[in-house]
Amino acid sequence: MPLTDVFCRTVKAAEKPQKFSDGGGLFLLVEPRGSKLWRLAYRFDGKQKTLSFGVYPTIGLKEAREQRDRARELLARDIDPGEHKKQLKRRKRLEAENTFETVAREWFDGQKSGWTQGYSDRILRRLEADVFREIGRRPINDIEPPELLETIRKIEKRNAVVLARRLLQVCGQVFRYAVASGLAKRDPSQDIRGALRSAGPKKRRTALKEAEIPEFLSALDAYEGDRRTVLALKLVMHTFLRTSEIRFGVWSELEALGTERALWRIPAERMKARSEHLVPITPQVELILEELKRLSGDSPYLLPAKTKEGVISQNTLIYALYRMGYHSRATVHGFRGTASTILNEHGFNRDWIERQLAHAERDGVRAAYNSAEWLPDRRNMLLWWSMHLENLNNGGLRDG
């Protein structure tokens, strides 16, 4: 006879455990201490098994019957309801453990070896500041597009539209990593791309024209700030290196100084393209380095400073340009464009220029290039370029 709510509520404990059947394998187990437990007896793969549904009255008769019916549906599909329940519990536990922040840090640890230190620091700093505080504690599999969109829009509201789009891309990479790892079912970032504000036309980094270089070099020589900042900017102009590549330069990377083979060998881990980069050192650059050596003392770095990273800050050079009156007129990165334009105009081989700029190849096969490719030609090109800058500084526009 099926059980009733009245019976379940009023049945008393006895000296021994009692089983009261409701049908279909469901029974109420009343223990001597008074506990009333729902159990389902069933057979699977020829074995007798028992499944727990919880404690009465927390689980009422109606809910116990519903759980029994769901278990029998699983049995009809040749699924063990006991194992199915274990898998669900495991999945919930994993979801609780695998928050967005946990998975993002795991993804980050796997990616950072392929990035420069400066880039990896920026990625983690932005995640911590703008994403983790919003959805970091949420199970990654539970995050839906509207929740992610709300997080990204908070960044947009600061008018950081480009940053918002970049962080959405990073979040997308984290979600796709989670999907591949079995920690999430889908990437919600794909559904909100069209909901973000337009970043507007891409701004080109401001670059000086050749006719403006003499005035700039005069202003640089007259700069009253830290002498190392002046020398760092000159290094950028002569070598085409990026700010981070200059900032983290170490003396041990310099080879054969004082000879015609003088070279700056920058390891792959410090380069944006993740390939070793060779920079021929011209006599003008060697003079800059000699002065920097006197200023840096025993430091392993070319540009040491009392900062967290041990070198001049990321903004040191651009702020110097601002103080020189070149805000919106020039950027540090823009010097690379200036050099490229002038060298192209003077007929130098485009491949030499691109290799010296350390631009990553679009073709993945060519990306793994020999770092010494066109080295003699690039050395001659840089010798001409350093002499050209010297001529511009001394007497205006004149071919070297």
- Per-residue pLDDT tens listing for the chain (400 residues): 789 999 999 999 999 999 999 999 999 999 999 999 999 999 998 899 999 999 999 999 999 999 999 999 999 999 999 999 888 887 777 666 789 999 999 999 998 887 777 778 889 999 999 999 999 999 998 999 999 999 999 998 888 888 888 999 999 999 999 999 888 899 999 998 788 777 555 555 578 888 999 999 999 999 888 999 999 999 999 999 998 899 999 999 999 999 999 999 999 888 877 788 999 999 999 999 999 999 998 999 999 998 888 999 889 999 999 999 988 888 888 898 999 999 999 999 999 999 988 875 544 444 445 667 889 999 999 999 999 999 988 865 544 4
Considering 272, 274, 293, 329, which one is annotated as catalytic? Answer: 272
Q: How many CA atoms lie within 13 A of 30 on its CB side?
A: 16
Contacts (Cβ under 8 Å, ≥6 apart) of 77: none
pLDDT value of position 361: 53
Considering 68, 234, 238, 242, which one is annotated as catalytic? Answer: 242
Check the CA dihedral 16-20-26-30 and report its sign.
Answer: negative
Residues 228/229/235/241 CA torsion (nearest 10 deg): 130
pLDDT value of position 94: 65
Give strand pairing partners of 36: 30, 56
Report the distance separating Cα 142 and Cα 399, nearest Å.
Answer: 64
Q: Is 346 a catalytic residue?
A: no
Query: Residue 74 is which amino acid?
Result: L
pLDDT value of position 273: 73
249-267: b (≥16 Cβ within 10 Å) or e: bbeebbeebeeeebbbebe
pLDDT value of position 362: 41
Considering 228, 336, 355, 388, which one is annotated as catalytic? Answer: 336
pLDDT value of position 398: 45
Structure tokens at 324: 């020189």
Q: Which domains does the chain have, with CATH numbers?
A: 5-94 (3.30.160.390), 100-195 (1.10.150.130), 210-395 (1.10.443.10)
Contacts (Cβ under 8 Å, ≥6 apart) of 337: 204, 205, 207
Report the distance separating Cα 165 and Cα 198, nearest Å.
Answer: 9
Q: How many CA atoms lie within 13 A of 64 on its CB side?
A: 31
Secondary structure of residue 267 in the 3-state scheme: coil
Pair 38, 28: CB distance under 8 Å: yes
Q: Is 186 a catalytic residue?
A: no
Residue 57, preceding peptide bond in cis (omega within 30° of 0): yes
Report the distance separating Cα 95 and Cα 224, nearest Å.
Answer: 57
Q: Is 242 a catalytic residue?
A: yes
Q: Is 369 a catalytic residue?
A: yes
Phi and psi at 95, nearest 5°, equal -65, -40
Count of Cβ atoms closer than 10 Å to residue 20 Cβ: 15
Q: Is 193 a catalytic residue?
A: no
